[in-house]
Amino acid sequence: MSQVGINEVDNSLRSAVLSLLKQLKAIDPVQMELFVRLTARVESFDILTWISCQPDTPKCYWMSRDGKFESAAIGTTLKIATNDEQLLNETISTLSSSTDKKTRSIRLFGGLPFDKTRATNCDAEWIAFDGGFFFMPLFELSRKDDTYELACNLSKENLSDEKFTEVCNRLENIVLCEVSNVVSEPMIISSRVDYPDRSAWTNSINSTLEKFESGGSDKIVLARKSDLMFDTDVSAWGLVRRLKENSFDCTIFCLEPENGICFAGASPERLYSRLGKQVFSEAVAGTTGRSSNDNEDAQLAEQLLNSKKDLLEHSFVVDAVEESLRSLCSDVRIVSRLKVRKLARVQHLAAEFEAELSGAVADLEIIQTLHPTPAVNGSPTEMARKEINMLEPFDRGWYAGPIGWISADEAQIAVAIRSGLIEGKKVSLYSGAGIVRGSEAESEWNEIENKISNFLRAMTGS
């Protein structure tokens, strides 16, 4: 896909802004629905560059793992805490009842923490994420296939005299940039601290295996946090660009709730996507490495397909996702029960599901029913979650939680794994490993190193 020249791009965006201003001033508040979406076409443009230039927060960048949909959302028309289930469901219901196709396509971006019971008592570094929220962006620049669009989402509240003037001013002041301020050069790590360290990790694994023998959980996913320090501030959007370049078959995301703190990742795992009443989900578990040698890579995949430990881990996830979908859907089909998903640095066992929702099921209910899967938590669910809280010496925050967007007719929600929290000179990387009977502390430590290697490569270039 070619990018047009800087002057033409600027003129295209400028024309789109003028078109939106004209549409804004033509709105009759009396005739207006509760929400409205104004749109204008734009020529081909680097969406990641655009969002990096904008001063407004919150910001959310999203690229679907098939690369066909990309979006940058900035500013707030409406923000809803995820514990306000009624307001979130009412908002989506209002959008669904609109007769305007554009209004029905308004997206709410956001997510939830891994464990909502810890949301009100989270670690300081997660405070900006408000225990989980979705927001309707004031402006959104998006691409679907090769079609680009600049949009402005409004509520009736935006049309009071004072707020209407503010919206017009913010629209007029959108940065029409083509020259990127994204710094994406490799960086040098000055220090690294792992939580837990190797010794404490080994103790946690051994303790978990002992509990398996005494009739405790069947599987527990234990995570590690690696705090990396750099000599200079980390360019979060530069890091996202490198993740985008170095990853494939992954959802790329970055959420900046306030200036200077970002949660970003390249997730290989979809919690679900929805098109109308059709729901698509998957089970991803079991891990091995990759090799640059095709024969060795194929051997690794074959070993994974025949690994009793990985097959056991995978089976817990498959069974749980199928059970959750059947509680929501009238028709559940396992399209593929066992195949190998190849990523840049690792390979996983995967299963794919298709289903049809039974009646009017809200997206928040789908999220809460599917999350957390045994792929990021364990089995049985509540027992595994309690063990995680006892054994992990940090708050997961939004790591391994649901993240994405929902609208009246569609939704895309990923599991926020292979992710990191970026603030100033510090990057905290999170990743986990499924512990079942037969797990070994050393191999699980190395598995996590493989999982974070793509993120490390994006930062350091090696």
What's the start-to-end Cα distance of the chain, in Å? 28
Q: Looking at the predicted structure, is the pLDDT value of residue 215 above 80?
A: no
Let me know: does 37 contact 95? Beta carbons within 8 Å: no
**pLDDT tens-digit map of 227-265:** 999 999 998 999 999 999 888 899 999 999 999 999 999
Q: What is the reported pTM?
A: 0.94
Q: Looking at the predicted structure, is the pLDDT value of residue 100 above 60?
A: yes
Q: What is the predicted pLDDT for the residue at 158?
A: 77
Let me know: does 264 contact 239? Beta carbons within 8 Å: yes
- Strands 69-74 and 59-63 turn out to be antiparallel
Q: What is the predicted pLDDT for the residue at 383?
A: 92
Percent of the chain residues topping a pLDDT of 90: 75
Percent of the chain residues topping a pLDDT of 70: 96
Q: What is the predicted pLDDT for the residue at 182?
A: 61
Q: Looking at the predicted structure, is the pLDDT value of residue 63 above 90?
A: yes
Q: How confident is the model at residue 384 (pLDDT cuts 50, 70, 90)?
A: very high
Q: How confident is the model at residue 115 (pLDDT cuts 50, 70, 90)?
A: very high
Structural tokens at position 141: 């620049």
**Rounded CA separation 282/53 (Å):** 35
Q: Looking at the predicted structure, is the pLDDT value of residue 145 above 80?
A: yes
**pLDDT tens-digit map of 2-51:** 344 444 456 888 899 999 999 998 988 888 889 999 999 998 888 998 99
DSSP per-residue string spanning 325-345: HHHHEEEEEEEEEEEEEE-SS
**pLDDT tens-digit map of 156-213:** 887 777 788 889 888 888 887 655 556 567 788 999 999 999 999 999 999 999 988 8
Sorted by where each starts, the structural domains of the chain and their CATH numbers stand as: 6-172 (3.60.120.10), 189-460 (3.60.120.10)
Residue with token string 């790329």:
252
* Consecutive H or E run containing 262: strand 261-267
**Rounded CA separation 372/385 (Å):** 9
**Rounded CA separation 235/251 (Å):** 20
Alpha-carbon dihedral 164, 168, 173, 179, rounded to 10 degrees = 120
**Rounded CA separation 50/48 (Å):** 5
Q: What is the predicted pLDDT for the residue at 10?
A: 63
Structural tokens at position 129: 């994420």
Q: Beta strands of 188-277 (E only): which ranges?
A: 189-195, 219-230, 251-258, 261-267, 270-275
**pLDDT tens-digit map of 404-423:** 999 999 999 999 999 999 99
**Rounded CA separation 107/155 (Å):** 13
Q: Smallest Cα–Cα separation from 182: which of 110, 126, 239?
A: 239
Q: What is the predicted pLDDT for the residue at 107?
A: 98
Let me know: does 261 contact 421? Beta carbons within 8 Å: yes
Give the phi and the psi of residue 373 in degrees, each rounded to 5.
Answer: -80, 160
Q: What is the predicted pLDDT for the residue at 277?
A: 95
Which amino acid, 216? G
The helix-helix angle for 308-328 and 363-370 (nearest 10°) equals 150
Q: What is the mean pLDDT of residues 114-140?
A: 90
Q: What is the predicted pLDDT for the residue at 246?
A: 87
**Rounded CA separation 345/287 (Å):** 10
* Consecutive H or E run containing 267: strand 261-267
Let me know: does 252 contact 241? Beta carbons within 8 Å: no
Mean pLDDT of the chain: 91
- Strands 329-342 and 346-357 turn out to be antiparallel
Length of the chain: 462
What's the Cα-to-Cα distance from 28 to each of 95, 103, 429, rounded to whole Å?
Answer: 19, 16, 49
What's the Cα-to-Cα distance from 431 to each of 146, 303, 393, 455, rounded to whole Å?
Answer: 34, 23, 14, 11
What's the Cα-to-Cα distance from 260 to each of 121, 128, 255, rounded to whole Å?
Answer: 22, 10, 11
Structural tokens at position 447: 């598995």
What's the Cα-to-Cα distance from 382 to each of 80, 200, 276, 343, 389, rounded to whole Å?
Answer: 27, 23, 31, 30, 11
Q: What is the predicted pLDDT for the residue at 180?
A: 55
**Rounded CA separation 229/25 (Å):** 49
Q: Smallest Cα–Cα separation from 241: which of 57, 43, 461?
A: 461
Structural tokens at position 83: 């514990």
Q: What is the predicted pLDDT for the residue at 4?
A: 41
**Rounded CA separation 285/304 (Å):** 11
